[in-house]
Chains A and B, each alone.
Chain A
């Protein structure tokens, strides 16, 4: 008996790799049902599912940190033919980051006893779970077409989440949604063209198999393969908001409801992740370096200018997101294990900071009578706590010591020192950091100090909300603690990202693991049973007189 239990546990743990996709899918479907029959259960069920996701992500990180690439064959089909998932250090890190972010967003959205942002429109929690499913699938998949499908899942959910909300800003939100959806649909069309070109060339879409087959193409096909690769890069750059393709981001992020915007902080990172995956695994980093590096540097400069010119606090944070994408793509473009490791370190930090700031700015806007315009306005209540939190966020975002933004940037500068771009990188990263400090300082002093002066003549409006809901406090404190944890545990995180970068550049191990994944012996082989039944039938048909006189 205990043997079968142990066997069952072992079997279940082998399927854990698929859990980040399956769990949110099941939870989201269940939530759609609960909305109708038991509305009161929706909030706890959503929270439980998200916490479960975080637990699964932690378990997977534990497993991946051993250093092995763990493939999972969907439907038990051998790798290049079936759809495979693969868990490595990079996927596990992204999943854990997503889990932490998702818990903070759900807790914030639940708000306090009087309800929070999740009540401002239908289906928030279900859409949130589907978004998690799409993101987790994109991080785990080892198949390009599957990556496209998961992109569409996460985009479809994000369209719904972006429209979530009511009252003020609804018009801006709908207009931003139209742009966002059209832009992403064009991106999807390009994605399909690139993917089908690769299939036409190599006859496979499994990433490991592509990595093996593309270099073996004849020379006259190499140019086509490169065109497809660059087309893919354009698609991922749309998602990651690289320089010429970033226009959708500030309007979209600054019009979304706060918890949605905070979750969207990881959406640009999906693009970065996809670029990281395909360049290190399939196409090689040397091909993209001359293209990605200058564009990423341009993105950095532009984000700093945009942050200085931002008329609203949310737009300011949105430009910080653009800037962080620039930093990450710079790290990838330089394409040495050192810069990639520094980039991953910065990725964890910048995602948490962006989410923290989106949530915090929402609190600040509410305290100022639902306005985040960068103009002096009276601030309800005391500015001390909000101001201190904004200060911490600004320090982290701009990359000033002692927080991790500084560690990430210094790691990147150190690693970039050996590349031919060293001069440009150092100059632009430092200059953009300086401009971000100026932008954040200007925003903070306008909001907290000039607002404080206006308060004397103009008392806060009576409709300003009294106090902060417990959920919002909890989410902000949790994200701040997360930032503190990666600052204190920076050494361990850096060791992990170093190992991750080393694993990403070890393409052979990934290819071997995915293509060599053994098919599990089936408990029931339906095809064999059908064959046997057919044979038996044929036997009885061949000799009808003997069996059936």
Chain B
């Protein structure tokens, strides 16, 4: 499970970085979204991978991390998801505005190669 998750996070982050480095705003936003997914999964795994363990104390079990999943990374990841989602929405709005102002979806507002040709 650990290997699979690691490969998955690596793929998400690799794709995200590659897309973020592209010169079109839409690609960049997609890349940032994938990067965000990878990071969120990474935060989640930092609470250690546990199967069949509740993050909230069950009365029948002793209240320790031996019998429960760590709830804190799950709370952190929720916060990170909300913030990342809001920021992506904001960036989308700004990118649309930039597209409208400059009539190009290049991140610089103009494509130097297009202008040259």
Residues of A within 8 A of B (CB): 145, 149, 152, 155-156, 159, 163, 170-171, 174-175, 177-179, 181-182, 185-186, 188-189, 192-193, 195-197, 199-200
> Of A152, A163, A192, which is in contact with the most chain B CB atoms at under 10 Å from its CB?
A192
- Whose C-beta in chain A lies nearest to the C-beta of B29? A182
Pairwise interchain contact B80-A192, C-beta atoms closer than 8 A = yes
- Whose C-beta in chain A lies nearest to the C-beta of B48? A200
- Whose C-beta in chain A lies nearest to the C-beta of B94? A177
Pairwise interchain contact A171-B87, C-beta atoms closer than 8 A = no
With contacts A156-B87, A192-B80, A199-B76 known, is A186 near B32, CB below 8 A? yes
Option from B42, B87, B97 in Cβ contact (under 8 Å) with A188? B87
Option from B42, B87, B101 in Cβ contact (under 8 Å) with A170? B101
Q: A156-B90, A177-B94 are in contact. List 12 more A-B contacts (CB 8 A).
A: A145-B79, A174-B97, A174-B101, A175-B101, A175-B102, A179-B107, A182-B20, A186-B20, A189-B36, A192-B80, A195-B43, A196-B43
Q: Assess whether B109 is interfacial by the CB under 8 Å rule.
A: yes
Pairwise interchain contact A152-B83, C-beta atoms closer than 8 A = yes
Complex formed: what's the CA distance from A189 to B39 in Å? Answer: 6
Pairwise interchain contact B94-A163, C-beta atoms closer than 8 A = yes
Complex formed: what's the CA distance from A174 to B25 in Å? Answer: 12
Pairwise interchain contact B72-A199, C-beta atoms closer than 8 A = yes
Complex formed: what's the CA distance from A136 to B78 in Å? Answer: 24
Min CB distance, A485 to chain B, in Å? 39
Complex formed: what's the CA distance from A359 to B73 in Å? Answer: 44
Min CB distance, B76 to chain A, in Å? 6
Pairwise interchain contact A182-B107, C-beta atoms closer than 8 A = yes
Complex formed: what's the CA distance from A196 to B48 in Å? Answer: 11
Chain B residues whose C-beta falls within 8 Å of the C-beta of A175 in the assembled complex:
98, 101-102, 107-109
Pairwise interchain contact B79-A178, C-beta atoms closer than 8 A = no
Complex formed: what's the CA distance from A192 to B72 in Å? Answer: 14
Q: Assess whether B69 is interfacial by the CB under 8 Å rule.
A: no
Pairwise interchain contact A178-B35, C-beta atoms closer than 8 A = no
Interface membership of chain B positions 30-56, coded 1 if the CB is closer than 8 angstroms to chain A and 0 otherwise: 001001100110110111100000000
Pairwise interchain contact B90-A178, C-beta atoms closer than 8 A = no
- Whose C-beta in chain B lies nearest to the C-beta of A172? B109
From 88 to 102 in chain B, residues with beta carbon under 8 angstroms from any chain A beta carbon are 88, 90-91, 94-95, 97-98, 101-102
List 6 interface pairs A-B (beta carbons < 8 Å), by A numbering.
A171-B109, A175-B98, A182-B91, A182-B107, A192-B39, A192-B80
Complex formed: what's the CA distance from A186 to B98 in Å? Answer: 19
Q: Assess whether B86 is interfacial by the CB under 8 Å rule.
A: yes
Complex formed: what's the CA distance from A188 to B91 in Å? Answer: 14
Pairwise interchain contact A200-B108, C-beta atoms closer than 8 A = no
Pairwise interchain contact A174-B87, C-beta atoms closer than 8 A = no
Min CB distance, A175 to chain B, in Å? 4
Chain B residues whose C-beta falls within 8 Å of the C-beta of A171 in the assembled complex:
101-102, 109
With contacts A152-B83, A174-B101, A196-B76 known, is A159 near B25, CB below 8 A? no
Chain A residues whose C-beta falls within 8 Å of the C-beta of B86 in the assembled complex:
156
- Whose C-beta in chain A lies nearest to the C-beta of B75? A145
Option from A181, A192, A195, A196 in Cβ contact (under 8 Å) with B91? A181
Q: Which range contains the number of B residues in contact with the other chain?
A: 35 or more
Pairwise interchain contact A199-B46, C-beta atoms closer than 8 A = yes
Option from B45, B48, B90 in Cβ contact (under 8 Å) with A181? B90
Complex formed: what's the CA distance from A185 to B109 in Å? Answer: 19
Complex formed: what's the CA distance from A174 to B99 in Å? Answer: 9
Pairwise interchain contact B94-A174, C-beta atoms closer than 8 A = yes
Pairwise interchain contact B35-A186, C-beta atoms closer than 8 A = yes
Pairwise interchain contact B87-A185, C-beta atoms closer than 8 A = yes
- Whose C-beta in chain A lies nearest to the C-beta of B107? A178
Complex formed: what's the CA distance from A370 to B68 in Å? Answer: 64
- Whose C-beta in chain B lies nearest to the C-beta of A198? B46
Chain A residues whose C-beta falls within 8 Å of the C-beta of B40 in the assembled complex:
192
With contacts A170-B101, A175-B108 known, is A193 near B94, CB below 8 A? no
Chain B residues whose C-beta falls within 8 Å of the C-beta of A179 in the assembled complex:
107
Complex formed: what's the CA distance from A163 to B93 in Å? Answer: 12
Option from B32, B36, B102 in Cβ contact (under 8 Å) with A174? B102
Complex formed: what's the CA distance from A178 to B73 in Å? Answer: 30
Complex formed: what's the CA distance from A93 to B79 in Å? Answer: 30
Chain B residues whose C-beta falls within 8 Å of the C-beta of A195 in the assembled complex:
43, 76
With contacts A149-B79, A182-B91, A188-B87 known, is A199 near B73, CB below 8 A? yes
- Minimum-distance CB pairs A-B, first 6: A200-B46, A196-B43, A175-B109, A196-B46, A174-B98, A189-B39
Chain A residues whose C-beta falls within 8 Å of the C-beta of B43 in the assembled complex:
192, 195-196
From 9 to 30 in chain B, residues with beta carbon under 8 angstroms from any chain A beta carbon are 20, 25, 28
Pairwise interchain contact B39-A193, C-beta atoms closer than 8 A = yes
Chain A residues whose C-beta falls within 8 Å of the C-beta of B72 in the assembled complex:
199
- Whose C-beta in chain B lies nearest to the C-beta of A175? B109
Complex formed: what's the CA distance from A67 to B86 in Å? Answer: 40
Chain B residues whose C-beta falls within 8 Å of the C-beta of A145 in the assembled complex:
76, 79
Min CB distance, A287 to chain B, in Å? 22
Chain B residues whose C-beta falls within 8 Å of the C-beta of A163 in the assembled complex:
94, 97
> Of A170, A177, A178, A182, which is in contact with the most chain B CB atoms at under 10 Å from its CB?
A178
